[in-house]
């Protein structure tokens, strides 16, 4: 017993001995000269004389100190070390202080100092060092390039006062010659015309609209990329020997400079024999189906590489990991035929052991795992890996998504490593807008695309949250929405919306206010289809009814509660969500309100919408879209029908006219009209069709030519088109980031001369049509 106590005492004594005392803390510069410790006291974890359990704690703490000091922006250089001495440890922090910026000067150049200071993003009083000034100089160079001075040279000098801790900086600017690329010429291109070549390069010619687009600025940094793009275009059109030299800049007249690309097209090849070698696990004939190359077709390097990808996918979808494929070209310049042999190195069949996720600092693991379609224990499948990558990217939570197999060293077992890099998913936006329907509108919106209501900060659970307020001359809105995309841990979305809407643009004869809530459940039914069931409880208030209004509108004055259910089936095969070029989107929505659902509005109806896109020659896109809908009252609503609508309240009646359908007419101006007051009172059945052709003008700008046709009838389920209205027009489509703008001018063709004079109308719309 005594021996055991002796051993225990010795162990406790050793533990105490291992504790370290902080003997001293020193702050030095790179020359070893000491600073006053107070200059970094806010960042150090220890005090002189403090007892610390062990050296590992000291090392980990001073590493944290160093990171905090670097992130503070006060220091150009920070490092730390621990010196062990007999009576304790000495912590030595090596730092180089930044100085506060006292004065900024600009010498030379053609722009004002105030403008250049703004472009440099420097502020008097900020901490600055040499790297700060070099970054500011680069921003100034970029600014001068934007001002059409591509050769601007900017140098800087600084003078520091160590005693005061301040620094002055002066930028010397040699703007050089102002230059614009008026012409881009191609020499030697016999079989591919200038227009196709200009389309693939980043450098553009100066045009009258360059003050908007910036086209025509000489961009030396894109020269190599443009040469590569031209060569790729040739090689993908069979010119496997094509050579493109670095362009020659003719700046004899700087503002009307010329850029000349010299091209040697060489022989144009067609595909000869396509063979495989190295394939043993499967018959060559079976693998050959993955290669979509046909003898006699134009030899495209892009298509040949797609054949390599097809072979890798063939093996990868059968469990093979790390299959290599290399296309070997045997070109005969005399015959213009190229034979292609795919050399295959078969990998090995692998099984997934673990799925490891890294890089997600905010997003929960489960949010990522539920999007994956490969699981531990399964055979490796390349298509499932790619599908998982695509699904994670589509979440729009990550800048980078990579999924790669890694051998575990245990035979055929592989770990699948999912690596992500998160990006900001929250947005705060505010602004002022104007449209031909809403007039002037100011808005504020706060949204989070990766919301988590269970923790603070509320990020990481994959939910969607948005609150938006709009205040304008014709509308006041407040909307709050929340979406849980995996309700009850199933691929079932649940959404909740609360809203207040006040509209004065429906009619000159009344205003309308809606307050309500909406609960919805949605589920994908197949790759292209989705179903969504929604319940809405909404109170309508029709107020400020004009004395001269139609009796049909006066009958609707006051409040009415609506309790409704709708189901939407959606088919969507479009290639892109916004600005698609091909595909179809169709929605079918039956709906009912009142009856067993309660409320003061009894009606049922159905709506069908469809839009189809076709790509055309010369990058034109033809779009055909339309809608058909009818609504009918029943029960008490039908029994208490007013002057018009057969019991359907005015807020559920159907109208046409405006930016969304018949653009040659005012908003909601097409439909049954009260002949006594000229008020459009709406109908119970409608249909419209729009045919539109858009064509490229420049970068994100497209022109449009369109024809709109439609009708609104009084009775339910009456689709007699005899009383139709139509129009035609022209427009512009500006695909500005976050601000897509449609500008249209349309002229009515067939219209009721009692109410319309046939003059054209201008419409503009911010956003996208269905």
User: In the predicted model, is pLDDT for residue 20 greater than 90?
Assistant: no
Q: Which DSSP string do the residues of 476-519 spell out, in sequence order?
A: EEEEEEEEETTGGGSS-EEEEEEEEEEESSS-SS-EEEEEEEEE
Confidence of residue 547 (pLDDT cuts 50, 70, 90): confident
User: In the predicted model, is pLDDT for residue 11 greater than 70?
Assistant: no
For residue 79, the SS3 value is strand
Least confident piece of the model among 549-558, 588-597, 710-719: 549-558
Q: Are 272 and 293 in contact (CB under 8 A)?
A: no
Tokens coding 176: 């050089």
User: In the predicted model, is pLDDT for residue 213 greater than 80?
Assistant: no
Query: How far is the C-alpha of 594 from the C-alpha of 635, rounded, in Å?
Result: 9
pLDDT greater at residue 746 or residue 618: 746
Q: Are 535 and 517 in contact (CB under 8 A)?
A: no
**33 Cβ partners below 8 Å, 6+ apart?**
none
pLDDT greater at residue 239 or residue 92: 239
| Dihedral Cα 669, 674, 679, 684, nearest 10 deg | -50
| Percent of the chain residues topping a pLDDT of 70 | 93
User: In the predicted model, is pLDDT for residue 24 greater than 60?
Assistant: yes
Does the N-terminal peptide bond of residue 430 adopt cis geometry, omega within 30 degrees of 0? no
Tokens coding 334: 């005399």
Q: Sheet harboring 99-108: ordered strands across?
A: 127-128, 99-108, 166-174, 153-161
Tokens coding 442: 């100011």
pLDDT greater at residue 754 or residue 45: 45
User: In the predicted model, is pLDDT for residue 528 greater than 60?
Assistant: yes
Residues in a beta bridge with 200: none
Mean pLDDT of 80-94: 84
Mean pLDDT of 452-456: 86
Confidence of residue 436 (pLDDT cuts 50, 70, 90): low
Q: Name the residue with tokens 């290639």.
A: 575
Mean pLDDT of 316-320: 92
What's the predicted TM-score (pTM) here?
0.66
For residue 90, the SS3 value is strand
**6 Cβ partners below 8 Å, 6+ apart?**
none
Q: Sign of the C-alpha dihedral, residues 202, 206, 208, 209?
A: positive
Q: How many other C-beta atoms lie within 10 A of the C-beta of residue 514?
A: 16
pLDDT at 477: 87
- Read off the pLDDT of residues 273-313 as tens digits, 9 standing for 90 and up: 999 999 999 999 899 989 988 899 999 999 999 999 999 99
pLDDT greater at residue 500 or residue 90: 500
For residue 136, the SS3 value is helix
Q: Sign of the C-alpha dihedral, residues 553, 558, 559, 560?
A: negative
- Buried b vs exposed e over 471-483: b needs ≥16 C-beta within 10 Å? ebebbbbeebbbb
Tokens coding 411: 């035979």
pLDDT at 1: 43
Tokens coding 717: 């389920």
Tokens coding 113: 């100092």
pLDDT greater at residue 711 or residue 146: 711
Where do the DSSP E strands lie in 393-462?
A: 398-407, 413-422, 426-435, 439-451
User: In the predicted model, is pLDDT for residue 6 greater than 50?
Assistant: no
Query: How far is the C-alpha of 93 from the C-alpha of 81, rounded, in Å?
Result: 7
Query: How far is the C-alpha of 54 from the C-alpha of 20, rounded, in Å?
Result: 6
Q: Which DSSP string do the residues of 520-554 spell out, in sequence order?
A: EEEEE-SSSEEEEEEEEEEEEEEE---TTS-HHHH
pLDDT at 769: 57
pLDDT at 165: 85
User: In the predicted model, is pLDDT for residue 107 greater than 60?
Assistant: yes
pLDDT at 5: 39
What SS3 string covers 242-270?
A: CEECCCEEECCCHHHEEEEEEEECCCCCE
pLDDT at 275: 92
- Read off the pLDDT of residues 589-628 as tens digits, 9 standing for 90 and up: 999 999 999 998 999 999 999 999 999 988 899 999 999 9
Mean pLDDT of 715-744: 86
pLDDT at 15: 39
Tokens coding 206: 């100066």
- Buried b vs exposed e over 330-340: b needs ≥16 C-beta within 10 Å? ebeeeeebbbb
User: In the predicted model, is pLDDT for residue 3 greater than 50?
Assistant: no
Mean pLDDT of 55-78: 82
What SS3 string covers 11-54?
A: HHHHHHHHCEEEEEEEEECCCCCEECHHHCHHHCCCCCCCEECC
Phi, psi torsion values for 124, nearest 5 degrees: -60, 130
- Read off the pLDDT of residues 655-699 as tens digits, 9 standing for 90 and up: 998 888 898 888 888 888 888 887 888 899 999 999 999 999 877
pLDDT at 22: 83
Q: Which pairing describes strands 181-187 and 511-524: parallel, antiparallel, or unpaired? A: unpaired
pLDDT at 536: 96
pLDDT at 435: 59
| Alpha helices (runs of H) in 221-350, residue ranges in sequence order | 223-235, 284-288, 301-316
């Amino acid at each position: 017993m005594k021996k055991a106590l002796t051993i225990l005492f010795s162990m406790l004594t050793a533990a105490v001995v291992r504790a370290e005392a902080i003997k001293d803390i020193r702050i030095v510069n790179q020359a070893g000269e000491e600073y006053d410790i107070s200059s970094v006291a806010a960042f150090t974890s220890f005090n002189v004389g403090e007892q610390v359990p062990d050296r590992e704690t000291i090392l980990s703490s001073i590493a944290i100190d160093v990171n905090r000091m670097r992130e503070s922006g006060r220091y150009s250089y920070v490092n730390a070390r621990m010196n062990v001495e007999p009576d304790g440890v000495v912590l030595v922090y090596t730092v180089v202080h930044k100085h506060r910026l006292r004065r900024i000067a600009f010498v030379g150049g053609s722009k004002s100092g105030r403008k250049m200071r703004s472009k440099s993003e420097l502020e008097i009083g900020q901490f600055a060092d040499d790297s700060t000034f070099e970054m500011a100089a680069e921003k100034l160079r970029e600014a001068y390039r934007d001002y059409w001075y591509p050769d601007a040279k900017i140098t800087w000098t600084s003078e520091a006062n160590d005693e005061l801790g301040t620094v002055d900086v002066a930028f010397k600017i040699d703007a050089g010659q102002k230059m614009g690329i008026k012409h881009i010429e191609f020499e030697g291109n016999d079989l591919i015309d200038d227009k196709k070549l200009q389309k693939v390069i980043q450098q553009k010619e100066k045009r009258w609209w360059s003050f908007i687009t910036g086209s025509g600025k000489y961009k030396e940094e894109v020269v190599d990329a443009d040469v590569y793009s031209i060569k790729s275009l040739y090689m993908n059109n069979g010119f496997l020997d094509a050579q493109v030299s670095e362009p020659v800049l003719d700046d004899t007249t700087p503002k009307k400079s010329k850029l000349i690309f010299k091209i040697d097209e060489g022989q144009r090849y067609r595909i000869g024999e396509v063979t495989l070698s190295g394939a043993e696990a499967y018959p060559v004939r079976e693998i050959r189906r993955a290669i979509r190359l046909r003898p006699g077709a134009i030899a495209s390097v892009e298509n040949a590489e797609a054949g390599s990808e097809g072979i890798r996918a063939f093996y990868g979808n059968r469990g093979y990991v790390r299959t290599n494929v290399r296309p070997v070209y045997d070109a005969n310049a005399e015959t213009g035929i190229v034979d292609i042999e795919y050399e295959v190195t078969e990998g090995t069949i692998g099984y997934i052991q673990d799925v490891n996720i890294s890089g997600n600092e905010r997003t929960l693991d489960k949010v990522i795992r539920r999007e994956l379609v490969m699981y531990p224990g399964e055979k490796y499948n390349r298509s499932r890996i790619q599908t998982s990558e695509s699904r994670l990217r589509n979440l729009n939570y990550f800048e980078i998504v990579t999924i790669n197999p890694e051998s575990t060293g245990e035979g055929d077992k592989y770990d699948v490593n999912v690596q992500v890099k998160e990006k900001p998913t929250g947005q705060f936006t505010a602004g002022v807008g104007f449209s031909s329907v809403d007039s002037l509108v100011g808005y504020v919106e706060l949204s989070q695309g990766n919301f988590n209501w269970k923790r603070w900060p509320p990020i990481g659970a994959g939910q969607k949250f948005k609150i938006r307020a709009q205040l304008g001359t014709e509308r006041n809105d407040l909307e709050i929405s929340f979406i849980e995309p995996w309700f009850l841990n199933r691929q079932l979305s649940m959404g909740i919306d609360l809203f207040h809407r006040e509209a004065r643009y429906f009619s000159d004869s009344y205003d309308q206010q809606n307050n309500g809530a909406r609960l919805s459940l949605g589920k994908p039914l197949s790759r292209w289809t989705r179903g969504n069931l929604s319940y809405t409880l909404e109170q309508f208030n029709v107020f400020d009814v004009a004395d001269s209004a139609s009796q049909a509108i006066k009958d609707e004055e006051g409040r009415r509660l609506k309790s409704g259910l709708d189901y939407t089936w959606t088919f969507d095969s479009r290639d892109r969500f916004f600005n698609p070029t091909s595909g179809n989107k169709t929605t079918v929505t039956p709906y009912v309100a009142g009856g067993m659902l309660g409320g003061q509005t009894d009606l049922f109806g159905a709506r069908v919408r469809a839009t189809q896109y076709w790509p055309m020659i010369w990058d034109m896109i033809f779009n055909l879209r339309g809608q058909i809908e009818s609504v009918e009252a029943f029960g008490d609503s039908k029994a208490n029908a007013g002057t018009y609508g057969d019991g359907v309240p005015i807020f559920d009646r159907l109208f046409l006219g405006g930016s969304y359908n018949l653009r040659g007419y005012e908003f909601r101006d097409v439909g049954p009209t009260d002949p006594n007051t000229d008020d459009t009172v709406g109908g119970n059945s409608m249909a419209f069709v729009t045919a539109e052709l858009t064509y490229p003008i420049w970068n994100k700008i497209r022109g449009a030519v369109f024809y709109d046709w439609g009708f609104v009838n009084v009775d339910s389920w009456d689709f007699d088109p005899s009383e139709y209205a139509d129009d035609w027009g022209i427009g512009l489509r500006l695909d500005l980031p976050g601000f897509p703008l449609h500008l249209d001018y349309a002229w009515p063709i067939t219209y009721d001369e009692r109410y319309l004079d046939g003059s054209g109308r201008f419409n503009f719309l911010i956003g996208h049509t269905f």
